[in-house]
């Protein structure tokens, strides 16, 4: 008798061993998270007192990042409520994802990012409603989830010609999807996109102008892009969104879902400037640090300047969003959700809450 293949006893034993190892890893992960959660709950009250007593101005607060950020995610810090105008710069800097933050199971990026798919929408997304997914990349996985769970009509935007073809192949035959081979921003322009398997990023603006649409095809045929990059088309929200919604009699967007490695700031700005932000029921954003490309004496200075410009754009975006929407949950540099205020107020009363905010920070 010859050696047994992978379907024999040895193959089954190996499969069982892998399953047991996976279960053990999941169990250890759950235990670690429970320990972190217990420690954070114990530390939260004194950390909240310190936050309010010192008005956010204390080096001791750095030891409180896990409990405070974990509670800020759902705006549940005792005695405190997030204030966009006064507090955004503090939290955006405080939440920078260093090793201490990344090493916490409570603030683990994957755990927090899962809220975008698993946290119930309040109010529920309406079936056959319109959704815009900006930054669909190669497979549009999040769009598939929303379409199947909520029956949304998904408009997927991906500026990279390479990834757009992959996206089109991935979704071939799937109902409820309309694909657009351009990005959205505050203005129409040409840009250089650095391709990445997980996170492509705009690195340079190469062309602007109102006549862009006329010569787009000619420019796409030109060579010369640096290796690993593509010239892509970004369209202004004011120009593109009315076209996208032309067949939607309501002109209402149930969900705006954005994961485009830094373009989120331009998308929100563009929608706001044209009065279209109020037409969006719920907004989900992955927020990203921007890359500083100017002169710097060393890497640390460049990193510091990147954080400064990122915090500025992030807080400008928060200020804009707060005019029409309320923050439902989220943390800087991960994911967050905003719900249009008139809808949320009808469902989530805030009577009796204590609206304490932090003072200006330096």
Peptide bond into 123 cis (omega under 30): yes
Better-scored residue on pLDDT, 296 or 258 = 258
Taking 90 as the threshold, does the pLDDT of residue 107 lie above it? yes
Check residue 350 and give its pLDDT.
40
Rounded Cα gap, residues 231 and 223, in angstroms = 9
* Spatial contact of 200 and 137, defined as CB atoms under 8 Å apart: yes
Check residue 339 and give its pLDDT.
97
Domains of the chain: 124-189+233-341 (3.40.50.150)
- Radius of gyration for the chain, computed over Cα atoms and rounded to the nearest angstrom: 23
The percent of residues above 70 in pLDDT, for the chain, comes to 75
Better-scored residue on pLDDT, 27 or 263 = 263
Taking 50 as the threshold, does the pLDDT of residue 210 lie above it? no
pLDDT in tens, 26-72: 444 444 454 455 567 889 999 999 999 987 777 889 999 999 999 99
Looking at the DSSP bridge assignments, the partners of residue 208 are 189
Least confidently predicted of 131-135, 173-177, 185-189, 257-261 = 185-189
What pLDDT band is residue 191 in, cutting at 50, 70 and 90?
A: confident
Check residue 201 and give its pLDDT.
57
Q: What is the rounded average pLDDT for all residues in the chain?
A: 82
Helix (H) or strand (E) holding 95: none
Hey, how many other C-beta atoms are within 10 angstroms of the C-beta on 114? 12
Check residue 17 and give its pLDDT.
61
Structure tokens at 15: 């499969």
pLDDT in tens, 313-330: 999 999 999 999 999 999
């Amino acid at each position: 008798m010859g050696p047994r293949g992978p379907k024999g006893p040895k193959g089954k034993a190996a499969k069982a061993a892998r399953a047991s190892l996976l279960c053990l890893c999941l169990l250890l992960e759950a235990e670690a998270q429970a320990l972190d959660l217990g420690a954070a709950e114990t530390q939260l009250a004194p950390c909240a007192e310190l936050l309010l007593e010192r008005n956010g101005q204390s080096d001791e607060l750095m030891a409180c990042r896990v409990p405070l950020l974990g509670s800020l995610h759902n705006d549940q810090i005792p005695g405190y409520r997030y204030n966009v105008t006064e507090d955004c710069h503090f939290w955006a800097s405080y939440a920078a994802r260093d090793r201490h933050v990344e090493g916490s199971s409570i603030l683990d990026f994957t755990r927090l990012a899962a809220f975008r798919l698993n946290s119930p929408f309040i109010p529920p997304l309406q079936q056959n409603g319109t959704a815009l997914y900006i930054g669909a990349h190669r497979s549009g996985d999040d769009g598939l989830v929303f379409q199947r769970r909520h029956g949304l009509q998904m408009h997927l935007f991906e500026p990279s010609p390479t990834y757009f073809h992959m996206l089109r192949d991935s979704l071939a035959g799937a109902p409820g999807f309309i694909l657009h081979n351009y990005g959205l921003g505050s203005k129409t322009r040409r840009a250089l996109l650095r391709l990445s398997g997980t996170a492509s990023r705009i690195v340079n603006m190469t062309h602007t102008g109102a006549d862009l649409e006329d010569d787009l095809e000619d420019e796409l045929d030109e060579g010369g892009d640096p290796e690993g990059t593509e010239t892509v088309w970004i369209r202004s929200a004011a120009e593109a969104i009315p076209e996208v919604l032309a067949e939607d009699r309501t002109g209402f967007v149930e969900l705006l879902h954005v994961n485009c490695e830094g373009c989120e700031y331009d998308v929100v700005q563009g929608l706001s400037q044209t009065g279209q932000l109020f037409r969006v029921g719920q907004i989900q954003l992955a927020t990203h640090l921007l890359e500083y490309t100017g002169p710097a004496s060393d890497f640390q200075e460049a990193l510091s300047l990147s954080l400064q410009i990122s915090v500025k754009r992030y807080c400008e975006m928060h200020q804009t969003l707060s005019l029409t929407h309320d923050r439902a949950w989220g943390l800087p540099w991960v994911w967050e959700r905003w719900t249009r205020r008139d809808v949320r107020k009808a469902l989530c009363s805030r009577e009796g809450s204590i609206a304490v905010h932090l003072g200006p920070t330096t």
